[in-house]
Structure 1
């Protein structure tokens, strides 16, 4: 995740995060693989301090200080909304954007701010869009 945040120029501390559907390569002290809220400062420390690989996880970014009621927990493993060709939005109501780690082999970016999206794509030129709507929007923004 450290590389994802850097590539997208996302300042982790600017948001609070709901992290769900978590599987990691190990569990550092003070962290749990249970669904949880994290302050941006705590998440920034976690990813800087530990070489932690998120195999599966959904990171839902919300405005700082906001703690939403979570009735439908965001998930990545087996989520058909990523692959049905439609333009997916963040799963957590009120989330600004979502980053999902998919089986250690892909990173799924949903509703990223435009500058973050452009920065990520410029750093990872093999990025592929999930939907035709996203592809059309991306092509129009390049004109």
Structure 2
């Protein structure tokens, strides 16, 4: 099941990836990541808003040291050491597939799951492992199935 968290008072601010990963019981360092379609509230030194591969340790360090709000972004989790050529970067801004009711899978070939930050007002979880879904829902009870969220978003 794919999930969405929006319209809630349960978070201080949406798309704080440190809180998202902690709620899901996911350690950033257990995966490598492809970050794409990135817009943040500020850009910490040694971080770029360009699409990029990032090792899990580097992502964990970034999230530990900075309270970055990802306004738009797609975090694609892949097995450690995995890299593929990216022909079409995953994107969230303007992506109608999140809202058409289809059963989605990660956009990046080889990704295990993806976390999308939607306009700093929603967090979308695609293909999370079952234990991570349960953990996230237990932390944020306002989480809903994405399939039931059929809004026109532009």
Length-normalised TM-score, structure 2: 0.84
Moved over 2 A (4+): none
Distance in 2 between residues matched to 1:81 and 1:122, nearest whole Å? 26
Match for 1:117 among 133, 137, 141? 133
Distance in 2 between residues matched to 1:86 and 1:122, nearest whole Å? 25
1:57 Cα shift? 0.2
1:72 Cα shift? 1.0
Aligned residue number for residue 71 of structure 1: 87
Secondary structure in structure 2 of the residue aligned to 1:23: strand
Residue 19 (structure 2) pairs with residue 11 (structure 1): no
After superposition, the CA RMSD in angstroms is: 0.7
Which blocks of at least 5 consecutive residues in structure 2 are unaligned? 1-16, 149-154
Residue 60 (structure 2) pairs with residue 44 (structure 1): yes
Secondary structure in structure 2 of the residue aligned to 1:131: helix
Match for 1:129 among 145, 149, 153? 145
Q: Which has the higher contact order (CA 8 A, sep 6+)?
A: 2
1:128 Cα shift? 1.1
Match for 1:94 among 106, 110, 113? 110
List per-residue Cα deviations over 1:75-123 (Å, max 9, x = no partner): 0001111000011110001100000000111000000000001100111
Distance in 2 between residues matched to 1:35 and 1:59, nearest whole Å? 10
Distance in 2 between residues matched to 1:75 and 1:57, nearest whole Å? 7
